[in-house]
Structure 1
């Protein structure tokens, strides 16, 4: 499993983040201060760090600076998402200027954090296991298998391509024209009804397997895949 290091001195936040990321398929390691965080970063090399700014002792910005300047004993491009109660523009700019990959202000949506983790990891490189995990939805590109809460869903090749594409772009809205281009590699000889029919079939199969409605219709625009809370 992909290991995420969560650094926060608030046990409620750690518990919330741990539960959401664990349900999304990640191994979660928790620490409460910056000094221990640097030790874990050096010794265990997590795939990504969720980092609070207001930490006892060594602060979050100091941890970020140590990683980006090569003083933390880990790769300088280690993905880091700042999770902070500081919503001022100055703190956000400093964090991003120091090299944070993303910045999320408390209070936050756990599902949105999980989506941002997936997005940052995709930019950093492929998941070593090759899986796409979105709440109860698990997609295995190597075997073309889709699972919902442990139940295997039987999809056609194009149905698989559709759900895999949407799952790698959570919350992003795509028009039917765009989906024709990305999935069928053409928006000329196929009509938009092709997309509508495939979305209908995929929805039905996922929900029949016990999954929530994840593919949402955005009226007048197209479709997006929501991140289950």
Structure 2
């Protein structure tokens, strides 16, 4: 699972964020100050950090600066979302200028934070484990696992191949003929009804797990994967 490090000295905020991100299917670890955050980054290699600015000791901006200058023992391009009670334009500009990927002012909606996490991870591309994250959809090719809104979805081999293909090309439209070629490696001995049936089953399983209607039918053309932020 994609690991998210939450750094905040307020236990209520950490608990709230931890619960929301866990329910969204992420593995969540915590740090209460800047020094502990830098240690966890080096030891755990998180895929993203949710970072409060007002930390005791080493402040949030100092942590961000250490990451972006390669002094944190973590990748310099590690995605960072700042949480702050400071809503002023100056703090926001400083944070973004230092390389923050997003900035969220307290009080905030936990659901909005989860959406921001998904969006930033999607822009960052596949995580180090090779997982594909698109909106509420998470695919782990190494283990052939699919998760949506934190719930695991059981798929057949071809259904899995189909959703991986869609998730690797979000918002691109494919005809049934193209999908037969890409997924079944043939468009000669199988009919397009094969694609229609598989799309119907995958769509139903994702929605049964609590996900939105992500596979869109473009009438007269084919299908695409729409990814909500």
Q: TM-score, normalised by structure 2?
A: 0.67
Give CA deviations for 1:159-206 in whole Å, capped at 9, x if unaligned.
54553356568xx8x37xx3449x7499xxxxxx99987654432233
Q: Secondary structure at the match of 1:113?
A: helix
Q: Which runs of 5+ in 2 are unaligned?
A: 183-192, 219-223
The 1:44–1:150 alpha-carbon spacing in structure 2 relative to 1, beyond 3 Å, is closer
Residues 57-100 of structure 1: CA deviation (Å, up to 9, x unaligned): 32211111122223334333333221223333332221121112
Distance change >3 Å, CA 35–CA 126, structure 1 → 2: closer
Following superposition, which runs of at least 4 residues in structure 1 exceed 6 angstroms of deviation? 193-198
Structure 1: which 5+ residue stretches go unaligned? 187-192
Give distance in 2, aligned partners of 1:127 and 1:211: 26
- Aligned equivalents of 1:69 and 1:225: distance in 2? 33
Q: What is the DSSP-based 3-state SS (H/G/I as helix, E as strand, rest coil) of the residue aligned with 1:153?
A: coil
2:186 aligned residue: none
Q: In structure 2, what is the equivalent of residue 190 of structure 1?
A: none
Which residue does 1:57 correspond to in 2?
Answer: 57
Kindly tell me: are residues 151 and 203 of structure 1, through their superposed partners in 2, closer, same or farther at Cα, counting changes over 3 Å? closer
Question: CA separation of 1:35/1:120 partners in 2, compared to 1, >3 Å: closer, same or farther?
Answer: farther
Q: CA RMSD in A?
A: 4.0
In structure 1, the partner of 2:119 is 116
Q: Aligned partners of 2:87, 2:195: CA distance in 1, in Å?
A: 40
Q: Residue 3 of structure 1 corresponds to which residue in structure 2?
A: 3
Give the alignment's TM-score, normalised by structure 1. Answer: 0.67
User: Do residues 93 (structure 1) and 96 (structure 2) align?
Assistant: no
